[in-house]
Chains A and B, each alone.
Chain A
Amino acid sequence: MRHPLRRKLPLLALLLAVAFISLGISLMTGSVDIAPGELWSLLWQNHGSTHYRIIHELRLPRTLSGFAVGGVLALAGLLMQALLRNPLADPYILGVSGGAAVAVLGAMLLGLPFAWQAPMAFGGALASILLLFGLAHSGNWDTNRLLLTGVVLAAGWSALISFVLSLSPPVQLPGMLFWLMGDLSDALSPALPLGVLALGLLASLWLAPTLNLALLGPARAASLGVRIQRLHIFIYLLASLLTAAAVSIAGAIGFIGLISPHMLRLVAGNDHRILVPGSVLLGGSLLVLADTAARTLIAPMQLPVGVLTALLGVPLFLFLLNRGMPGRMP
């Protein structure tokens, strides 16, 4: 008898192809357009030309960072949805990005150097993760309590963000807003995000069979041999750390983490052994395409990519939802 997941493999192959096409489009498009043939030779040989420098110093790092950040966000969203057993969950729902934003905006307001932004973001996110863990983890670990605490904490951060924005001098506001909406223009060292993506992907693939059981309900998962408390804590920490890493690299880019896993569920079902790699490929491709649009649509001006992910993501998701298989979505 064939394993039921064998039928889903062509879909993963398709997503892999989509990912490569997205990367290609992103590398070819911009202030100068580069033909596919030229791109191929530029990738492997140094002609010493301007085009070589454009590809290797600007577009390739930004494209790869974008792909990694998109993949990480999609993965974090998928994990949060499994943890909270709630289809509305996204990477930011528990306030991780809010903590990061308050730290970064505070640093901007105090005039700290630019190099401090990413560490501040990560520190703020980490503080938020630990604060929530302390608040929600009294005695036992209940996901409803976690969700409510997280949502309230996020509301608190959001109030603090507004407070900082209202204190800030007008000249600083555009930079702050760009950060809040998510922006990849400063993400030019892809090694870190790609490393985070690889670690997150490996950990999630290892967890995938137990994630499937977690969706069957905590008591049932426990009855089938899953240490559910431990699993919940591990998913929470993994998803939060992934989000913190993504936010510190590219700011709070919305929608990727919510829509990528859902779009995939519509066609691929609910097995995390497919959803984990599929979400990474889809989230990465979506963010790369959105970023390409963000830097070319009204060139030479650049839009924050978070605006584009929402503008692209919302209609795409609604379209798929309406023609998706009946009974697939809750």
Chain B
Amino acid sequence: MTPLLSTQTLSLQIGATQVCRELDLEIAPGQCWGILGPNGAGKTTLLHTLAGLHPGDAGRILYGDRRLPDIHPRELAKLRGVLFQNEPQSLPGTLFESVLAGRHPHLGRLGWETPLDLKLARQAIQATGLQGLEERSVHTLSGGERQRMEIAMLLAQAPGLGMLDEPSNHLDPDQQILMLRLLKDRFTQYRRALIMVLHDINLAMRFCDHLLLLKGNGQQLMGPAGEIATDENIQWLYQHPVSLLKTEGTACFYFL
């Protein structure tokens, strides 16, 4: 089966930080990847590079069997969508307008939304539990509501690959679980996939089936979550003692 996204010997450096070196990543439909690493390791930059928003230094990025530079930006916006962290809006409009903006890659030449686009935006708002706030101006929303709005935008965009940068930011613990469950639900069916940068190793353990650990010095580890998430590896990654607690069916890292 062709992977949705793959990289061939991708190297990426920002300043003195070697984010990854000769990375050969393959994301197949149905998979959910987590990217973990200490602060400043370049997780966000790698995510943006994979999304085609930031140039890599060497190597290739392929969507299906096509190289990233050969794909028209509008078409790329149907192949992958990005959930940003801290992307400020200026002169923001209403919540509904923002979510509807997610439909942009699907609109015709005139950029006019069809009833279907309006319906999909409304469904995305309902799925994220924001109904009733449609007409609110974006900057009157709380941090958590705003994050759910961003998720609704991504759901309305409905790309093949969801690329999430800290999806649990600003969310209450219950909402973290609900939103990640929603995203995983939507993005691991119908030949779609999900890749997310996470701070919380335990959220990654709970939702991701594959992990990519970035040390920030060019060292990287990747593979199925069960093989990668050992206490030695996590201790190596964060330079902090951890112990793995196991109860029935779940495992959880406890930072000592």
Q: Tell me the A residues contacting B by CB distance below 8 Å.
A: 1, 3-4, 81, 85-87, 208-210, 212-213, 215-217, 219-220, 222-227, 265, 269-271, 273, 325, 327-328, 330
Contact = CB atoms under 8 A, between A and B. Distances in A.
Given A216-B101, A220-B87, A265-B91, A225 B53 contact: no
B28 interface: no
A270 B92 contact: yes
B207 interface: no
Interface of B: 48, 51, 53, 72-78, 80-82, 84, 87-94, 96-98, 100-102, 104-105, 107, 110-113, 115, 118-119, 122, 137, 139-140, 157
A270 B139 contact: no
Contacts of A223: 51, 53, 77, 80-82, 84
B77 A225 contact: yes
Contact of B87 (A217, A226, A227, A273): A217
Nearest to A230: B73
Contacts of A325: 137
A281 B124 CA distance: 36
B113 to A, nearest CB: 6
Contact of B118 (A1, A210, A327): A1
B22 to A, nearest CB: 26
B104 A224 contact: yes
Contacts, number: 96
Contact of A224 (B48, B101, B112, B118): B101
B111 A208 contact: yes
A219 B84 contact: yes
A220 B84 contact: yes
A224 B157 contact: yes
A225 B84 CA distance: 15
B53 A269 contact: no
A217 B82 contact: no
A208 to B, nearest CB: 7
A185 to B, nearest CB: 36
A328 B91 CA distance: 8
A3 B102 contact: no
A209 B87 contact: no
A268 B73 CA distance: 30
B81 to A, nearest CB: 7
B197 to A, nearest CB: 14
22 contacts: A3-B113, A87-B91, A216-B87, A216-B89, A216-B98, A217-B88, A219-B48, A219-B53, A219-B82, A219-B84, A220-B87, A223-B80, A224-B77, A224-B102, A224-B105, A225-B72, A225-B77, A227-B73, A269-B93, A270-B97, A325-B137, A330-B91
